Structure 1
Amino acid sequence: MDFIYTEEQRMLADSLRRLVDQSWTYAQRRARQATGKLDAKAWGALAELGVLGLTISQDFGGFGEVPASLLPVHVELGRGLVSEPVIPSAVMGAALIDACDDAARGRWLPDIASGESIVSVAYQEPGRRYDTAPQDCRAAKTAEGWRLNGAKHLVWHGAAATTWLVSARGPDGQTLLLAVPAGTAGVDVTDTPTLDGARCARLDLDGVTLPADALLAEGGVADHALEQALRWGTAALCSHAAGAMERLLEITVEYLKTRKQFGQPLASFQALQHRLAEMLVAKELALSMAYVAVAALTETDAVQARRMIASAKLEAARAGRQVAQLAVQLHGGMGMTDELDVGDYFKRLTIVDQLLGDTAEQLAVLQELS
């Protein structure tokens, strides 16, 4: 694995850091969270910089970058706690559609790359934790196309999506992937804020009628597409977490250099230096495993790729908890308030474990593959 950015990756990361520093300040981030709505200007800025079409083929309006480019981009987004639906739409949604046929790619990928379409993968069902196989959400064939019934929950940025990519159980028990436009009759959307200031939604689907061309994939192709979406999303999330840890460590160092006790900066106390060292080691381990995760996206051995992704996600969750908890402790009483950035980073790094398969889920995968 090459741990050094290419010149193009470095330039993109530098440009993105400048954008994030200008447009995702503490006040701006909080203002967006208060509305609970997607900021069209911020979303457009990400599209203009190429973030949304990063790995989408140039044939479909993207930039055609290699999967490794996810790392520098999502590290920077993690540093700024960018909560826009980049991972659900531009990573997971694009990866899912890319695993479908050319008709689906041509129809959806250009609009995803431009930011005109926001998609979200709706695959989790109530009471089934992280199981990816649809069971209670079912699609029946009709003369005009499909009729969809069931429920999906924890749809990441589901209310902001213009289209949901819904997994359903077909007439013969096979997996179907269907594109459901927002506003379709029979879809009830319940939007909910999450711990970290992002959003998720529950979709209740009652007799939703769809045309025949709503079908994106079925059977083994659909299973593979969904697996690919989750693998790419997890790799991006690991990079996002590493970036958040990096920035939180910087914030904590700045605080300890400024805050004084007994006439000396807190950073001069050896015991606190040890805690900072622990944070640094944890952050570096998480960053190293983020490289492993993006490397898994080009791994030809499917079993090894699953092992790499699960291991990286485990480390992102573990290191995230450690760095976040130590940061709060080192900020003392101020770390428990809602007035500092540290609290926002703590919440984001806490929720990383729950997204796309928690620690127990990743351990189960590793046990299965051992």
Structure 2
Amino acid sequence: MPKIILDDPDQTLSMLRESVETLATRVDGAARLRRRRADGGDLDRDLWSEMAAAGWLGLLLPEDMGGSALGPAELAVLAEGLGRNLLTEPFAALAVLPGQILSAIGTPAAATIAQGLADGSRITPLLWQDAQGARAPLTLAGNGEAMTLSGTAHFVTAAASATDLLVLSERDGVPALVVLPARNGPAGSGGITVSSRPGLDGATIGQVTLSDVAVAQDQILAQGTAVETALQAAIQITRFALAAELAGVGAKALEDTVAYTRDRVQFGQSIASFQVIQHRLVDMWSDAEFACSAVTNAVEMLTEDTPAAAAQAVLAAKARAGDSAVTITRRAIHLHGAMGFTDECNIGLFNKRAITLNAMLGQSEDLRLEFLAQEMATKSTAA
């Protein structure tokens, strides 16, 4: 069956794959998803702590920030394993995205937060998007001891479980990264109001409103171009992690569907023997292979440290893997028949997860337009 294939001379990737599979044998991802959905929670803290203990949350962070200082290949294998096993804790949004921003900022204060992120003691979502997924108007006003932060951020991961909030704000038109204590007390305490609504894949979608929240000077982690540079680099590597997870979701949905069609009998024979079913399975297999290949190509480009090529490879991988996972899981539901539409059948959960991940940090069509814009800019510069 399709999977992300990478060179593994020291067996590091194999051991990482085994660690994910070992956790998955103890943790039923589908059952955890259903339980979290029923409870209305936004994060399984016990599972998150296990992921931290395994070193996954700090996989990319430098060692002096409590991380493992590993690279794109290890990230791809880990994210793929999470997707295959339906381990839906928000690894990309809650570990990779804020972790890479903090790593790029690199100040002692940022390093302290990153260490807490790596060991699981700090839940630090990034506030930066509006209701359309664009940059939220979060404003830092005032000077000295009289600074306040105001605005509303949407699509906040684990907003209710957060211990800290990373806020991408603007101060007189200049980007500023601010850290706030989440104040998990009564709604609205300290000028911070948190609300949430159910998401498609069992998680909740958070909204955080800041109303003249007092900000001290030492809460400003960075200002200026360094913030924007850190954000763009973090978005790129997070899209890459999402692409790998999507590839895992699609490959596992295909694998489960192949097994189901072999076992399902109609008219005295396995439905996998019907030509029309075989054609659909081949189409699904092709989609899964292309997705895994696109992620493999992105690993190579990121490893070779070719910024322009890596940026385009990541966009291509996320677009390809997103379309692939959504298409495969929809076809998988159809091939499971009526039971595929029931909540008791796990294949529907894979479809919901694929749709959710595909929407994060840009739908496939948006990423393709961004890819074309970058390609045209590159050609224009070369000319």
1:333-344 correspondence to structure 2 within 5 Å: 333-344=338-349
Deviations 1:198-240 (A, max 9, x none): 2221111100112211112211100011112211111111111
Q: What CA distance in whole angstroms lies between the structure 2 residues aligned with 1:83 and 1:162? A: 20
Partner of 1:146: 147
CA contact (8 A) 2:30 2:349 kept: no
Deviations 1:144-178 (A, max 9, x none): 2631011110113332322221111112x111111
TM-score by length of 1: 0.93
Q: What CA distance in whole angstroms lies between the structure 2 residues aligned with 1:215 and 1:177? A: 6
State the secondary structure of the residue aligned to 2:105. Answer: coil
1:199 aligns with 2:204: yes
1:130-145 correspondence to structure 2 within 5 Å: 130-132=133-135, 134=136, 136-144=137-145
Shift, 1:138, TM fit: 0.6
CA contact (8 A) 1:316 1:352 kept: no
Shift, 1:25, TM fit: 4.0
1:124-273 correspondence to structure 2 within 5 Å: 124-126=129-131, 129-132=132-135, 134=136, 136-144=137-145, 146-171=147-172, 173-183=173-183, 185-273=190-278
1:61 is aligned, of 59, 66, 70, to 66
Partner of 1:35: 39
CA contact (8 A) 2:110 2:221 kept: no
Shift, 1:15, TM fit: 1.5
Shift, 1:182, TM fit: 0.8
Q: What CA distance in whole angstroms lies between the structure 2 residues aligned with 1:327 and 1:300? A: 37
Matched residue type, 1:190: S
TM-score by length of 2: 0.90
Q: What CA distance in whole angstroms lies between the structure 2 residues aligned with 1:17 and 1:10? A: 11
Q: What CA distance in whole angstroms lies between the structure 1 residues aligned with 2:300 and 2:163? A: 31
State the secondary structure of the residue aligned to 1:131. Answer: coil
1:354 is aligned, of 337, 355, 359, to 359
Shift, 1:289, TM fit: 1.4
State the secondary structure of the residue aligned to 2:144. Answer: coil
Q: What CA distance in whole angstroms lies between the structure 1 residues aligned with 2:105 and 2:38? A: 37
CA contact (8 A) 2:36 2:203 kept: no
CA contact (8 A) 2:30 2:86 kept: no
2:332 is aligned, of 327, 332, 345, to 327
Shift, 1:139, TM fit: 0.4
Q: What CA distance in whole angstroms lies between the structure 2 residues aligned with 1:187 and 1:348? A: 29
Q: What CA distance in whole angstroms lies between the structure 1 residues aligned with 2:269 and 2:217? A: 71
Matched residue type, 2:174: Q
Q: Residues 235, 335 of structure 1: CA spacing in aligned structure 2 closer, same or farther, 3 A cutoff?
A: same
1:3 aligns with 2:18: no
Q: Residues 45, 144 of structure 1: CA spacing in aligned structure 2 closer, same or farther, 3 A cutoff?
A: same
Deviations 1:258-295 (A, max 9, x none): 11001111112122112111111111111111223344
* Higher alpha-carbon deviation: 114-123 or 155-164: 155-164
Q: How many residue pairs were aligned?
A: 365
CA contact (8 A) 1:121 1:155 kept: yes
Matched residue type, 2:285: L
Shift, 1:97, TM fit: 0.4
Matched residue type, 2:52: A
Deviations 1:298-337 (A, max 9, x none): 4644433322221111101211122011101111111111
1:280 is aligned, of 279, 285, 291, to 285
